[in-house]
Amino acid sequence: MRCPIETHDNAELLLAFCARKLDLDTTLMLERHIDVCPNCKEFYEGQRTVWQALDAWEAMPVSSDFDRRLYARIENEPRPWYSGLQELFSARWTRHAIPLTAVAGLLLTAGLILQQPKPSVPAPRGPATASVKSEIAPDQLERTVEDMELLGQFTAVARTEASSDTL
Supply the mean pLDDT for the chain.
80
pLDDT band at 131 (very low <50, low <70, confident <90, very high): very low
* Nearest CA among 107, 133, 135 for reference residue 121: 135
> Can you say how many angstroms the Cα of residue 130 is from the centroid of all Cα atoms in its chain?
57
End-to-end CA distance of the chain: 93
Tens-digit pLDDT profile for residues 39-53: 888 888 888 898 889
pLDDT computed for residue 73 by the predictor: 92
Secondary structure (3-state) at 82: coil
What are the residue boundaries of the structural domains of the chain, listed by start?
8-56, 136-166
Could you tell me if 14 and 5 are in contact, meaning their C-beta atoms sit under 8 angstroms apart? Answer: yes
pLDDT computed for residue 2 by the predictor: 77
pLDDT computed for residue 59 by the predictor: 85
**Overall pTM surpassing 0.85 (yes/no):** no
Rounded CA-CA distance 143/160 in Å is 26
